[in-house]
Amino acid sequence: MSHSVKIKNALISVYYKDNLAPLIQQLNEQGVVFYSTGGTEKFIRELGIDVIAVEDLTGYPSILGGRVKTLHPKVFGGILNRRVNKEDQVQIAEYEIPEIDLVIVDLYPFEETVNSGASQEDIIEKIDIGGISLIRAAAKNFNDVVIIASKDDYKTLSDILSENNGYTHLSHRKSFARQAFNISSHYDTAIFNYFNQEDPLTVFKYSEQKVSTLRYGENPHQNGVFYGNLDAMFEKLNGKELSYNNLVDVDAAVALIDEFETPTFAILKHTNACGIASSDSILNAWKTALACDPVSAFGGVLICNREIDEETAKEISNLFFEVLIAPSFSEGAKQLLSGKKNRILLKRNNVKLPAKQFKTLLNGVIEQDKDLLMETADKMIAVTNCKPTQEQLNDLVFANKIVKHTKSNTIVLAKDGRLISSGVGQTSRVDALQQAIVKAKAFNFSIEGSVMASDAFFPFPDCVEIAAEAGVAMILQPGGSIKDQESIDMANDKGIGMVTTGIRHFKH
């Protein structure tokens, strides 16, 4: 708490002027001298407060259409001079440079301009030069200077000045410097990533300012934090805060439902679909999806791609669930489903999702393109004597969408636009198929005439044989095994069909 500094001179130049007036008035009451530029200078004068134009300090006008205003030794000397350095003080006096104790500067809205779809010319002009330089200079000299780089810190500074009669302590200034370098580094990352889209450098830079502290991580003894703007993604209509595990399941649910255009309802547990169906209405889709596995559905994450109406809400209310996601809820549905305070209801907003995925691994980060491929029926190549009917092709497309979003090794059995059962996350494809068959029988589903989808090729014909004997009529697999022909021959021997897609959909 040592080394207190009284603010005597302040340089203020901001793009956003929200809530700035009270702070300026407070500083004025404490006898602070103001230096400013352009619109901020005018703003201060309209408050009836004296202000010195930066161009009067430097002797140079704002030039190049405002690109150069504050880049001058009289400005940066006032910020960077070290008060305890005798040589610095000699030069400050020699060149009549005022000591600037407070810098309030924000940055041009670069990210907002990019997101608005503005032209490249407009985007380039929002790359701040003077502002970022002032922030760095003031933060570097935090020993003597206060830097406020965001309107979010105005009240904090105001409280400090009120409590300390216009003085700041070293701990205050160092805290503001940390905030400033966070803002500057985030800004530079956004600019770099904008420029790094074409012929990109192979480097990893990511910065996120929005943060939500979670109740805990995967387990209660682990801390958890979400970095991202959840408020942009969802409007939370009811329920407790999302947990780490909730968010992982919600991410998987969103990725899965985005594959479907017809009314579809999905129920997920531990990122895998335990029930999913497409139908002519969202109510019928819900009833069919729930029937897939009503046991696993307990405590699940639910998602659909149509509005939840009151009739559907009544049916859903009979199940205990963690999260329900929909593009909208009727007023009656919202009231009915909000009857239990812990139920999380999320109204999904139309937000563009990133095309890259990354996660920490070992002592680094791995990144990949998101799997955005999904094979349509015309991309499925019939390789057996038995060719798929149109209904079977529809079911193969449906099953393949589920396979893509299910943990490997996985097998999916489907029929008539509904999941019959699946085997997920198994160490062998045979185990995944056996699991799917056992599960189907446990819920009295007939496998006869169903289709089967596999996330990867069959290294041996055993899965084909087992599937045929269980009643599967048509199989989808990517192909690519050196023993593909053995699997094809087995399908022909058993009188069932097979298509290949050429695309593998592992999900680890």
Active site residues: 140, 270
By DSSP bridging, strand 225-227 and strand 211-213 are: antiparallel
- 165 torsion bin: left (phi>0), alpha (psi -120 to 50), beta (else): left
Which residues touch 87 (CB under 8 Å, ≥6 apart)?
none
Helix (H, G, I), strand (E, B) or coil at 271: coil
Nearest alpha carbon to residue 75 among 87, 90, 59? 59
| Cβ neighbours of 245 (radius 10 Å) | 19
Give the type of residue at 311.
Answer: E
Segments in 216-281 forming alpha helices (H): 230-233, 244-257
| Cβ neighbours of 151 (radius 10 Å) | 17
Nearest alpha carbon to residue 423 among 436, 413, 414? 436
C-beta of residue 412 within 8 angstroms of C-beta of residue 276: no
Q: How far apart are CA 289 and CA 283, in angstroms?
A: 10
Q: How far apart are CA 422 and CA 450, in angstroms?
A: 12
Q: Which two tokens stand for residue 482?
A: 């050196």
Helix (H, G, I), strand (E, B) or coil at 381: strand
C-beta of residue 136 within 8 angstroms of C-beta of residue 177: no
CA distances from 70 to 47, 56, 97, 182, 194 (A): 23, 11, 14, 22, 26
Nearest alpha carbon to residue 305 among 338, 277, 335, 332? 277
Q: How far apart are CA 508 and CA 501, in angstroms?
A: 20
Q: How far apart are CA 84 and CA 357, in angstroms?
A: 49
C-beta of residue 1 within 8 angstroms of C-beta of residue 170: yes
Tell me whether the omega of the peptide bond preceding residue 444 falls within 30 degrees of 0, making it cis. Answer: no
Instruction: Please give the order of strands across the beta sheet that includes 9-13.
Output: 52-53, 33-36, 9-13, 102-105, 146-148
Rounded to the nearest 10°, the torsion over CA 74, 78, 84, 88 is -10
Which residues touch 48 (CB under 8 Å, ≥6 apart)?
none
